[in-house]
Amino acid sequence: MSTPTADKAAVLKSLQNIARFWTERLATAKNDDDLVRISYDRARAAVKRAAAAGDTTAAHSLAETLAHWSADRERSAMKRHGL
Going by C-alpha positions, the residue among 29, 65, 28 that lies closest to residue 46 is 65
Q: Which residues contact 42 (CB under 8 A, 6 or more apart)?
A: 22, 25
pLDDT score at 81: 95
Report the domain count for the chain.
Answer: 1
pTM of this prediction? 0.82
pLDDT tens digits, one per residue of 16-71? 999 999 999 999 999 999 999 999 999 999 999 999 999 999 999 999 999 999 99
Domain extent at residue 40 = 4-80
| Rounded Cα–Cα distance for residues 75 and 83 (Å) | 9
pLDDT band for position 2 (cuts 50, 70, 90): low
pLDDT score at 43: 97
